C-alpha cells in the first residue's frame, strides 16, 4: 500500500514546482513508471483519486506510461528490451547483464496546466 504515499509525494512535488507561479488548476500529470519500479499502476491511480485535494487538483488526471525493461549488453554494445524481467539476458547474444538502462523509474515527465 506504499502507492498512497507515492501518490501524495506526486502531489507534493507538483505543488512545490508551481508554488511561486500563478497557476489555478493542474489538468494532467504525466508519469513514467518502469516495470521494475515496484509500483503497481492500478493501485497508484486508485490511491491518487483517494487523496483529498484542493482546487488546484480538483479534476486532475494522472496519466501513467509504463516503460519496458531495457538493458545494455557490454558484449554486443547494444541496448535491448527484456521481456522476462527475471532474467537479464541480451536478446541478441544471450549474455547475462546487470546494466539496466530503463525500467526502474518513477518520474513526473510533464505537468499540464
Domains along the chain?
3-112 (3.30.2320.80)
What residues contact 80, with CB distance under 8 A and at least 6 apart?
70, 71, 72, 73, 90, 91, 92
What gap in Å lies between CA 14 and CA 57, rounded to an integer?
10
- Under the banding of pLDDT at 50, 70 and 90, the label for residue 99 is very high
Residue range 4-27, pLDDT digits in tens: 999 999 999 999 999 889 898 999
Phi-psi region of 18 (alpha: psi -120 to 50; beta: other; left: phi over 0): alpha
What gap in Å lies between CA 50 and CA 23, rounded to an integer?
23
Is the pLDDT at 1 greater than 70, yes or no?
no
pTM of the model: 0.86
What gap in Å lies between CA 29 and CA 64, rounded to an integer?
8
Residue range 31-73, pLDDT digits in tens: 999 999 999 999 999 999 999 888 999 899 999 999 999 999 9
Amino acid at each position: 500500500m506504499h502507492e498512497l504515499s507515492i501518490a501524495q509525494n506526486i502531489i507534493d512535488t507538483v505543488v512545490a514546482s508551481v508554488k511561486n507561479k500563478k497557476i489555478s488548476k493542474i489538468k494532467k500529470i504525466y508519469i513514467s513508471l518502469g516495470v521494475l519500479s515496484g509500483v503497481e499502476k492500478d493501485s497508484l491511480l486508485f490511491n491518487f483519486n483517494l487523496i483529498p485535494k484542493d482546487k488546484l487538483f480538483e479534476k486532475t488526471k494522472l496519466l501513467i506510461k509504463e516503460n519496458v525493461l531495457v538493458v545494455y549488453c557490454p558484449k554486443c554494445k547494444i541496448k535491448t528490451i527484456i521481456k522476462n524481467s527475471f532474467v537479464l539476458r541480451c536478446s541478441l547474444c544471450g549474455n547475462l547483464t546487470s546494466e539496466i538502462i530503463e525500467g526502474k523509474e518513477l518520474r513526473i515527465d510533464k505537468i499540464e496546466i
